[in-house]
Amino acid sequence: MIINIDKPVGWTSFDIVKKVKRITGHKKVGHGGTLDPFASGVLILGTENDTKKLSEITKSNKSYQAELLLGVKTNTLDPEGKIIDEKPIPFLDEHILHKTMKIFKGKQKQMPPMFSAKKRGGVRLYKLARKNIEIERNEIDIEIDDISLISFSKDKIIFNVSCSKGTYIRVLGTDIAKKLGTVGYLINLKRTRVGNYFIKDSESIENFEKSWKSYTKLTKLN
């Protein structure tokens, strides 16, 4: 079974996996692409034999809606970290923002953040980062298929982005802020698509639980 869950803010991807295991009673449950706790949106899960499909789903391009706060930067590049830098915000207008975002479209290199699940020597980078240890990382190849401005204010930018597997939107947000002459971090992130799975078709974990209980009840009656 493949399940399209709208992950809520505050839950880890593994929290959702554990919850689905408990709801369904299936021993084998996995997910097709981690979402940070501060992020929400499309999280694809597979159960039992369908976990084999997850590796292909994980390779799919993804789409996000992100909100970037300018003038302040955290060590995690999201709201969960501590402030490490502050800079004035230059004048912004629609022309400047469209022009800046256009720079990021296409194939490019990206440096994975220290606060990430990537491994070095068998150790997750975020575990080293929590001990204030920063190590050299290799840049990864990514591709931004599309990036577009939704709205902006004097200190916030909301944008849509479609990108390749492995793209860190937190890093993209920080890089956009840098190009604009300031610093920034993501305060909101919603994944709206994973391959052919869309947010409009996602269901909350609560609704999934209700649906599953109804399904099992009907199965028993039949």
Least Cα distance to 19 among 47, 41, 38, 42 occurs for 47
Query: Tokens representing 25?
Result: 């009673």
Q: Which residue has 């369908």 as its token pair?
A: 50
Distance CA 132, CA 136 (A): 13
Say whether 6 is catalytic: no
Residue 184 bridge partners (DSSP) = 70
Residue 66 bridge partners (DSSP) = 159, 189
- Among residues 36, 50, 145, 155, the one annotated as catalytic is 36
Distance CA 28, CA 76 (A): 31
Is residue 74 within 8 A of residue 170, CB to CB? The reply is: no
Q: Which residue has 């880890």 as its token pair?
A: 12
β 2-7/119-120 pair status = unpaired
Q: How many other C-beta atoms lie within 10 A of the C-beta of residue 105?
A: 16
Among all residues, which ones are annotated catalytic? 36
